[in-house]
Amino acid sequence: MDKQLFPPNMSAKDKLDNLQAMAYSTEETSYFKVLTQEELDERRETLTENYIKISDLESEKKQVTENIKAQQKPMQVENVELLQTLKTKSERIEGVLYHVDDQESGMMNSYDVNGDFIQSRRLKPNERQGSMFKLNQISQ
């Protein structure tokens, strides 16, 4: 059986017309065609170019991913703090507290720079002031 049905110099339209006239039937399908060395070399070159492009894209993807992670990091840290704030219903603040003793109630009250009440606790023994009455009794 001949490898070529038509002469190489015949036009593609003439080949198609002759094939349609000669064919008993036609079928739309997929099939394998043996490639020439030149066609194989073209495919190898395309494969190499594709691998190079994929490698470049992977590097670019890695950089973009790192940039996105860098942008996400501050928000993730903030979210952890916000979650803790919502859980405890209080917020950690760096600042000055002013402790004011209330000798009558025996409490030490703490206020922030705006004068807002923050917390209170019992006075420690060394923070208590002795009364004048007790001092007078001891000295007698």
Span 71-125, pLDDT tens digits: 999 999 999 999 999 999 888 888 999 999 998 899 999 999 989 899 999 999 8
Per the domain annotation, does 2 fall within a domain? no
- If you ran DSSP here, which 8-state letter would residue 6 be given? S
Same domain, 124 and 59: no
Number of separate domains in the chain: 2
CA angle 22, 28, 34 (to 5 degrees): 80
Span 17-63, pLDDT tens digits: 999 998 988 899 988 889 999 999 999 999 999 999 999 999 999 99
Per the domain annotation, does 49 fall within a domain? yes
Q: Which domain holds residue 118?
A: 98-139
Per the domain annotation, does 35 fall within a domain? yes
Amino acid residing at 95: G
Per the domain annotation, does 4 fall within a domain? no
Residue 4 to residues 1, 8, 122, Cα–Cα distance (Å): 9, 8, 106
- Predicted TM-score (pTM) of this structure: 0.48
Q: Is the pLDDT of residue 140 over 60?
A: no
